[in-house]
Chain A
Amino acid sequence: MAEIGSFALLLALALSVYTFLAGIVALVFQKQTFVPATEPGSKTARRNQVADVGSGSSWAALLRRGSERIGETARRAGIATFAAVFLAAVVLVLCAFRDDFTIAYIFHHSNRDLPAPYKFATLWSGQEGSLLFWSLLLAAYGFVLRLRYKTDPRLFAYASVVLAGVQIFFLLLVNFAANPFGILEGALRPDGSGLNPLLQYPEMVIHPPMLYLGYVGFTVPFAFALGALIMKYPGEKWIHITRRWTMVTWAFLTCGVFLGAHWAYSVLGWGGYWGWDPVENASLMPWLTGTAFLHSVMMQEKRGMLKMWNMWLVFATFWLAILGTFLTRSGIISSVHAFAQSSIGSWFAWFLAISFVVFVFFFFKNKSHLASEHKLESLVSRESSFLFNNLLFVLLCFTVLWGTWFPKISELVQGNKVTVGGPFYNRVAIPVALLLLILTAVGPLLAWRKTSLESLKRNFLWPTVGAIAIAMFLMITPQRWGSPFGLRPWQDISYFYSLMAIGLSVLVTLTVASEFYRGGRVISKHTGQGMFASMVQLTHRNTRRYGGYIVHFGVVVVIIGFAGAAFNQDKEQEMANGDKLTIGSYTLICRSYTDDDAPNYASEWALLDVYKGGKQIDTMTPVRRFYKASQQTSTMPDIRSTLNEDLYLVFEGLNQDNGHPIIKAHLNPLVMWIWLGVWIILGGTVLALVPNAPAPVRVPAPARLEHVQTSPVATGD
């Protein structure tokens, strides 16, 4: 089996190299014979006419036909690459299911008693497999792209070449630096070392694929952007083509980032979901630039502005995704996630350098093509809000990058390392994030080109009054009501941030609601429908805009969830039978503790009755497992989630003297809002992907003015 896998990977590499080289040859010859339909009088067209007249049109036609055929073989080779990489991935998964411990990768990441879903997940559980998985996803994206080439054959051919270039890098890695089909040296072992216990959790089966779909997916808009730059593609069509790719990719990355947070929360047992670890940061950075790109690309689409900026943003997103992998694999920055360190870091460093040089070369060569079609007319406009929005997103990304690299910089400058953890990001990133939240509230209500101050006042008065009223209410209410009430900003800086975050979230929510309401009201007046039906129709007419608002609403729900962290409490206690632990309004009584044995692991667990207000409301069972194959322990916290707060119990271990379990209880307010917010974000993204309803029939303006009072409703995306 290993031989089949290795052969498939070599074949895939050969096919990719052919796709790349033949693609370039075809494009070079096509460029020489290409007559752009839109620019009949251009230099290229004149050159072709001269060529046709001078050398005979049959020669030019022959060259064109030949290059088209080469291009077609390159496209087919690209499609076949997917088949070859898919075969390699299937072979690796089959080897995991067959417990083929002759293969070193399977020996190190699986064992006989590993449940089937985790055996499947072996594909991305270690370095070699995850690189193969990365190649597979890239090949799959390339497969779809090459099948859909008829949308715009030339642009797709350029994008295909760029994708093939990236694909070659990953296939070189899995063939020569991190081969997943390497044979285990020495005598055959009866069982494998098993999967890392921390990865034996249902979400780990889907978290890496989602994250990789996001990381790899950003290669597609980058490939189109670079292709469009190289060929000086006229207009913004490439953005229309990649819009859905970018949104889907962004949704995958969002999903991956938050699944990772949920995994950390549910498995690591420290009661938190984000530790600002370099690897976590690595996933956040492309998300931030990708989000900036999703916003600024609208300016290019609608106003032909920020073309150069968008080019850099899409490149930065792709580059940061690769940088994230470099951080994980190279061990250059210490991280709790750096479980897959190796020498392949230098491969990534070279690839990062080469991709940077290639991009910069074509950018400066063709940047005259990216001149802006319009200029900004006012500071108070949708355009400038996008500019500031982009500035803040990029600044947040810079802050995270800076914080991630600062220990290394400090070591170089001062000779000693420092730690850059949560407290640093809380001081630096939170103020910037709050500014971004203000823009999220303000931006959608600004009109393109210019907004009058009167209109701003009209649109913001009630949302601002509402937000201030709610913030004041949260500030003056008694703290005994529980979170988020009794937020006294003067008591602690974290309370101040929480109050600001919740207040601004309310402001965003009210501005979003007012947008739906005002738009719905106009349709309702036109059609006589009810308000809800009108708002549904409104959303259907411009799914991208209103889907975007729903995404914004989801973001503020997530932010409210983050704001709850200011009220976190925890308590640790040894608990014999009948012992009590009180945290917040909960009382826990230990009913029993025992141990258990399963084929894959042995476990110790406690049975705790949960009381609130004198009534038993639940029984919880935090567990600690000992995985036999890997000889490692792992905690399985028991979490009781409500909208108000999470009661989070961890079985930390046994007191060695008396055998009593040690329980750590966390009370984490509003955490469920985070997961709820992510669902709303994904729902909004899906809605934004739905095609718009057909535009209503245009009514002559004078007739319409007679019956309807117009209102400034829609201001664009």
Chain B
Amino acid sequence: MSIRLHLFSKFRAPSHKVAHAILLCVAVFALLGAGDPGSRFSEIGHQMMCICGCKQILLECNHVGCPSSDGMRNELMAAVTRGDSDSLVEQGFVQKYGPTVLAAPTTRGFDRVAYILPFVALFLGFGIVIVIVRSWKNRPVPAIAGGLRPVRGTELEQFRDQAGKETDL
């Protein structure tokens, strides 16, 4: 009981309240619109390819008399109307038409690499850039021989030109 109270009291902190509310909103709104057969048909149909050789998304295949797309659309509509889950519909299509019927790699097995690698590269790249910048930044500053001295004449002009070049002022 005391633990529950403790947790409860934690949730009463303003920042946690806001976080809780946001989570709730996201959960509620995420469920809105789900399950509508029309939107599911459109959503799944845009994840599939027409197999006639036109290499178009199933619902974008636009030639009249296509030997494949009409039948595939009817099958999809029937599956959605039956209430089959998305994965069941996909599995059925893959079994019948082969894995190329899906417009994108699945998130299973080796296919996962397709999605993972770009993000691994992104994080690795960010990491490398940050490490490089930090290592350059943390270099010891070389001591100035003879200490600071005022800059005048041609040397000042040189620095002025350099500043102009670097900033385009």
Contact = CB atoms under 8 A, between A and B. Distances in A.
A419 B104 contact: yes
A395 B125 contact: yes
A490 B111 contact: no
A421 interface: yes
Given A384-B133, A716-B166, A716-B168, A270 B114 contact: no
A165 interface: no
Given A377-B137, A714-B167, A270 B129 contact: no
A406 B105 contact: yes
17 contacts: A269-B62, A271-B60, A302-B166, A375-B139, A376-B133, A376-B136, A379-B134, A417-B99, A420-B104, A421-B57, A423-B103, A432-B122, A449-B166, A491-B32, A654-B64, A715-B167, A716-B167
Interface stretch (A211-219, A221-229, A408-416, A611-619): A408-416
Interface in B104-126: 104-106, 109-111, 114-115, 117-119, 121-122, 125-126
Interface of A: 269-272, 275, 277, 302-303, 334-336, 375-379, 384, 387-388, 391, 394-395, 398-399, 402-403, 406, 410, 413-414, 416-424, 427-428, 432, 447-449, 488, 490-492, 542, 544-545, 570, 635, 650, 652-654, 662, 664, 714-717
Interface in B41-79: 46-47, 49, 54-57, 59-65
A334 B136 contact: no
Contacts of B26: 490
A336 B129 contact: no
Contacts of A388: 126, 129
B35 interface: no
A424 B169 CA distance: 44
A22 B50 CA distance: 56
A391 B126 contact: yes
Interface in B1-36: 25-26, 29-30, 32-33
B93 to A, nearest CB: 12
B129 A387 contact: yes
B88 interface: no
Contacts of A302: 165-166, 168
Contacts of A715: 167
- 6 closest pairs, A vs B, by CB? A653-B64, A490-B29, A424-B104, A423-B104, A421-B103, A375-B136
Interface of B: 25-26, 29-30, 32-33, 46-47, 49, 54-57, 59-65, 98-106, 109-111, 114-115, 117-119, 121-122, 125-126, 129-130, 132-134, 136-137, 139, 165-169
B46 A379 contact: no
B32 A714 contact: no
Contact of A491 (B33, B134, B139): B33
A717 B168 contact: yes
B54 A336 contact: yes
Given A376-B136, A410-B110, A416 B104 contact: no
Counting chain B CB atoms within 10 Å of each CB, the highest count among A271, A334, A384, A419 belongs to A419
B138 to A, nearest CB: 11
Contact of A391 (B61, B65, B103, B125): B125
Contact of A272 (B33, B60, B100, B110): B60
A570 B42 CA distance: 10
A403 B168 contact: no
Contact of A376 (B32, B103, B132): B132
A547 to B, nearest CB: 12
Given A336-B54, A402-B114, A428-B118, A418 B129 contact: no
Nearest to A387: B129
A448 B165 CA distance: 11
A428 B115 contact: yes
Nearest to B116: A428
Contacts of A662: 64
Given A270-B56, A432-B118, A377 B99 contact: no
A382 B62 CA distance: 48
A391 B65 CA distance: 46
Contacts of B125: 391, 394-395
Contacts of A423: 46-47, 103-104
A379 B130 contact: yes
A378 B137 contact: yes
Contacts of A303: 166
A564 B38 CA distance: 21
Given A336-B55, A490-B32, A542-B168, 13 more contacts: A271-B60, A303-B166, A375-B139, A378-B133, A387-B132, A410-B111, A414-B110, A421-B103, A427-B115, A447-B167, A490-B25, A653-B64, A654-B64
A419 B130 contact: no
Contacts of B117: 402
Given A336-B55, A379-B133, A395-B122, A653 B103 contact: no
A410 B104 CA distance: 12
B110 A664 contact: no
B29 A488 contact: yes
Contacts of B114: 402-403, 406, 410, 418, 420, 424
B167 A448 contact: yes
Contact of B133 (A387, A410, A427): A387
Contacts of A414: 109-110
A418 B168 contact: no
Contacts of B109: 414
Contacts of A376: 132-133, 136-137
A413 B29 CA distance: 40
A449 B165 CA distance: 13
Contacts of A417: 99-100
Nearest to B25: A490
A377 B30 CA distance: 44
